[in-house]
Amino acid sequence: MTAESVKTRLRADLRHALKEKDRPKIALLRNLVAALDNAEAPRAAAGPAPGEDFWSGAAEVERLALGDQEIRRVLVSEIEEREDAAAQFERLGQAERAAALRFEATLARQYVDSQGTHPRSHL
């Protein structure tokens, strides 16, 4: 599955979750889409050259195009954050919150698995 198709699938699944009013899935999908959008944001140094007039259009900077590996890294990072947080909540005796985070990680894993790589394996 290509990077663009993963983003398209995430957005389509988000629309479906919104229609179904599936709050946990809505929150997760919004976070995953935002993580990918943030990864596509140009670096601060990629802005216009000093002295360029903002209104000339020179201030517009294209978003970065993420490849399959970058998409995979972002999604794996999101999964690992949830798994690590779940382990911490478990140690604190908050099993319900830990279970919710593990459920989110399981849902997110389907987008990585569809690319042929399992989280916490070779990136």
CATH number at residue 95: 1.10.1510
Q: 119 lies in a domain?
A: no
Instruction: State whether residue 112 is helix, strand or coil.
Output: helix
pLDDT of residue 49: 56
Q: 118 lies in a domain?
A: no
Of 51-55, 75-79, 119-123, the poorest mean pLDDT is in 119-123
Look up residue 108 and give its amino acid. Answer: A
Q: 15 lies in a domain?
A: yes
pLDDT digits (tens, 9 = 90+) for 66-116: 888 999 999 999 999 999 999 999 999 999 999 999 999 999 999 998 765
Domain with 97 in it: 3-113
Q: 17 lies in a domain?
A: yes
Looking at residue 46, what DSSP letter applies?
A: G
Q: 48 lies in a domain?
A: yes
pLDDT digits (tens, 9 = 90+) for 13-38: 999 999 999 999 999 999 999 999 89
Q: 89 lies in a domain?
A: yes
Say how many domains are in the chain: 1
CA distance 79 to 119: 7
Q: 102 lies in a domain?
A: yes
Q: What is the CA radius of gyration of the chain?
A: 18
Asked if pLDDT for residue 46 goes beyond 70, the answer is: no
Q: 103 lies in a domain?
A: yes
pLDDT of residue 33: 94
pLDDT of residue 67: 87
In the structure encoding, which two tokens stand for residue 106, read together? 């399981």
